[in-house]
């Protein structure tokens, strides 16, 4: 279910999340990685996204959602929303550098 972009970054597309939410939660509980959810083609329930967001926050790991710009206003300003997968990878890389530097 989780596709690894690198050793420390995983991504999941919304369609596969809808197919097996329990499997995703199990994998996330076992892993400590930064995570990208690609919701560019499918919308997900905000409560599920918030649950995953909190799990990632408790692990001190990033959670970035790829979402079309026109849908960004549907989410709180403190969510990490980007319009493309490349921007999500860049965002996480920057966050990892800050963590490595102790910020």
Please choose, from the candidates 72, 64, 70, the residue with its C-alpha nearest in 3D space to the C-alpha of residue 91.
Answer: 64
Residues 6+ apart with CB under 8 A from 34: 8, 9, 10, 56, 61, 62, 63, 64, 92, 95, 96
Residue 96 maps to a domain: no
Band of residue 8 on the pLDDT scale cut at 50, 70, 90: very high
Residue 39 maps to a domain: yes
What is the pLDDT at residue 36? 97
Residue 86 maps to a domain: no
Range of the domain at 67: 3-74
pLDDT digits (tens, 9 = 90+) for 26-72: 998 899 999 999 999 888 888 889 999 999 999 999 999 999 999 99
Please tell me the total count of domains within the chain. Answer: 1
Residue 85 maps to a domain: no
Q: At what angle do helices 21-30 and 46-58 cross, to 10 degrees?
A: 10
Torsion sign across C-alpha atoms 5, 72, 74, 59:
positive
Which is more confidently placed, 65 or 22?
Answer: 65
Residue 46 maps to a domain: yes
Residue 37 maps to a domain: yes
Residue 100 maps to a domain: no
Residue 27 maps to a domain: yes
What is the pLDDT at residue 42? 86
- Block residue for tokens 């929303």: 81
């Amino acid at each position: 279910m989780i596709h690894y972009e690198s050793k420390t970054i995983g991504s999941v597309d919304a369609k596969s999340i809808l197919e097996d939410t329990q499997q995703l939660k199990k994998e996330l509980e076992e892993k400590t990685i930064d995570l990208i959810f690609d919701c560019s083609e499918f919308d997900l329930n905000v409560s599920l996204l918030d649950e995953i967001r909190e799990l990632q926050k408790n692990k001190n790991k990033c959670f970035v959602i790829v979402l079309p710009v026109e849908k960004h206003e549907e989410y709180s300003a403190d969510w990490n929303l980007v319009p493309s997968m490349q921007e999500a990878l860049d965002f996480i890389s920057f966050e990892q550098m800050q963590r490595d530097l102790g910020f």
